[in-house]
Structure formats: structure tokens, C-alpha cells
Structure 1
């Protein structure tokens, strides 16, 4: 049975494909805690762009480290810094969209 709920907040796995030499990528699995917006809320924020959506829906993360290999604390500043990297931005957006429709994409 399906139960209607307000915007669920869930942990969702995704893969960040980091570009490396030779036209290859290095895959890194992370988890994001996401709030799944209803379509009206999504449409309202979408006019401001993907970064606005991601800043609204990402609540926390796991398996993201800083340059010293220590867990990177989830803050709005750290999120903004990560979203400046195209490969992270796109991976987060694809991850959110997959979560919103319930599709897990494996690497």
C-alpha cells in the first residue's frame, strides 16, 4: 500500500565521476540526505537554476572527505564550494532526479 506523505527526507547513494588523465574517470560513491520536493515546489525553485535546487534539497552527506582525508562537514559554504565543480554539481543533480523518481543508477 502506498501512503501519501509530505516531502520525504531520505539517504540516497550516487556516484561522482571524477575526471582523471587519459580521458578516464575515477568513481566515488557517496550518499546524500535529500528532501524530495513535490512538483510545485520543484518548479518554483527550478527557475532559479540547478544550484538553487541542490542548495534546497541537500541536507547532509556521507563519504565526502576534505584534502586531508577527513570527513568534510556539511555546511552551506562547503556545499557551495562543491557545486562549483561541474562533475560534482552534475552528479548531485542526477542523483536527486533519480531519487525523486526512485531509480538507482549503478556505476
Structure 2
């Protein structure tokens, strides 16, 4: 059992300490921003007592998604790059819909 814990400790050290650089810090910051969109959505839905997707959800999606895309490009991960790039298109499209609706509401 001690060997298992030693192996796990060695693996954790290799993954989380030896690889630590500014890119990993950027990746974690991006992941935190991306995760915040779920927190914002959850809180808004709890307050409204129904499912709500506030504009801040899309803001965090864009910020986190863009930084994760930069990180994925640096890491040269094609799956991660494709996923983040596709997601960014959807996030920006939703922001466009929100802005258009606000303009139409203000005009009419």
C-alpha cells in the first residue's frame, strides 16, 4: 500500500509541480473563468426559481473559452482547439442575439 501512495505522490508531483509554468497558470485561470459561467447560471436560476441563462454566462464563456483556446493552441491539442474554437462561435452568437434584442426593445 505504501508503494501505491508513493507512486501516486510521484505522479501528482510530476503533473502539478514539475510542469508548473506560466502556461499552466494561464490554463488554470482560463478554467476558473470558464467554470464561473456555471456558477453564475446556477445562482441566477436559483434566484428566479427557473432555468435562466444571464448575459454574464456568455461573458464568462467568451473570456474562459478564448483563454482556453490560447492554452490549447500552445499545447498543440487538436481536440481541445476544435472544441474551444467551435464554442467561441456559439458564445459570440448568443451575445449578438442579446444585443440585438436590447436594441429592438429600446427602439420599440
TM-score by length of 1: 0.22
Higher helix share: 2
Largest Rg, 1 or 2: 2
Structure number with higher relative contact order (C-alpha < 8 Å, ≥ 6 residues apart): 1
TM-score by length of 2: 0.22
